[in-house]
Amino acid sequence: MLGTKHAAVLSTLVIGATLAIAGPAAAAGDGLAEAGTLKVGIIPAEDARAVVKQSKEVMDQVSKTLGMKTEIFVGSDYNATIEALRANKVDVALMGAFGYVLATTQAPVEAFAVTVTKASNSPDYHSIIIAKKDANELTSLASLRGHTFAFVDPSSTSGSLMPKSALVEAKIDPEKDLKKVIYSGGHDASIIAVAEGKVEAASVADRIYANACNKKLVDCSTIKVIWTSPAIPNDPLFYRKALSPEMKKKVADAFYAIHDLTFGEMGTVARFAPADDKTYDVVRGIAKTLKLDLTKMK
């Protein structure tokens, strides 16, 4: 199913420190959840503590630039972080493209940046469908009919929604025409499921697949890519609209100043490029194809 009831908040983890020499801290009226602290929500790809550790350099630099503490909030899923935004517990969030579009229907938020990864030097990435190389019958979307398949999370843009949209456009009903469908919960888990023969094919983000191959999570010489999606905008950074114009500019400039630092599951971020809400209209198009009412998804 596309809509599932997810768990509430998993945890809140804190990094960064008070940096009094870097500039004035936030004044009252800046709209922050907590005066003098910027709270940033991140969705973990696999392990929450690893994502926090991988984000420390970015958070330290943002903290120094703003002259205030930074805290990372780790939610269990999109909905936990969206709820934190709604409750004014988080100021800024990094989330997948679909998660952002979902958030805009449930909380007053707006995108201000898109992630440009070092590996691709591009603000875009792709969803891919992988299968074992020796599965000679699997060569295209049409060939998936009657085979087992792993999606990631129902709300994952590249791991579920983009490939489902492509399957629907190819006249394949993912829930009826595939032999068996599972939701692995993570891109790495889907990659492993294919490598170990637990499913015959799976959809994942190309950047995460590349990372899995580089770190030899699986033997990628035994795996092939049978489909690649159109470009999907990388994960956006967005803030609550309640932040003052001055604070929005400070926050945006602090992230625009980041270069070649690791940030969560995005890997090394070359930079954060300016973006706005319209950047993510492609995701709204996917939702339209799948006939999803984003205002009712949980």
Model pLDDT for residues 147-173, shown as the tens digit of each residue: 999 999 887 889 999 999 999 999 999
Q: Tokens 């926050």 correspond to what residue?
A: 251
pLDDT > 80? residue 90: yes
Whole-angstrom distance, CA of residue 90 vs CA of residue 116: 23
- pLDDT of res. 231: 92
**Which range has the top average pLDDT, 1-5, 47-51, 62-66?**
62-66
CATH superfamily, with its number, for domain 127-228: Periplasmic binding protein-like II (3.40.190.10)
pLDDT above 90 (res 200): yes
Question: Can you list the alpha helix ranges (DSSP code H) found in the chain?
Answer: 48-54, 56-66, 78-86, 97-104, 162-169, 187-195, 206-214, 245-256, 281-289
- Label residue 80 by pLDDT band (50, 70, 90): confident
Please give the average per-residue pLDDT across 188-203, as a whole number.
97
Residue 149 β-bridge partners: 181, 201
* pLDDT (average), residues 74-81: 82
pTM of structure: 0.76
More confident position, 95 or 209? 209
**What's the pLDDT score for residue 28?**
53
Residue type, 22: A
Q: Residue 260: which residues within 8 A CB-CB, separation 6 or more?
A: 118, 268, 269, 270
Higher pLDDT, 99 or 5: 99
Q: Do domains 11-118+233-296 and 127-228 have the same CATH topology?
A: yes
Mean pLDDT in residue range 177-192: 96
Report d(CA 150, CA 272) in Å as an integer: 31
pLDDT higher than threshold 70 for residue 255:
yes
* Residue 42 clears pLDDT 90, i.e. is over it: no
What is the third-level CATH fold of 11-118+233-296?
D-Maltodextrin-Binding Protein; domain 2 (3.40.190)
What pLDDT score does 119 carry?
A: 82
Per-residue pLDDT at 33 exceeds 80: yes
> Tens digit of pLDDT for each residue in 126-149?
999 999 999 999 999 999 999 999
Domain locations in the chain? 11-118+233-296, 127-228
Q: What average pLDDT is seen over the chain?
A: 87
Q: Are 70 and 16 contacting, i.e. CB atoms less than 8 angstroms apart?
A: yes
Average pLDDT over residues 190-216: 95
Residue 75: pLDDT band with limits 50, 70, 90: confident
CA gap 31, 4 in Å, rounded? 32
Q: Hey, what amino acid is at 145?
A: R
* Mean pLDDT on 274-285: 94
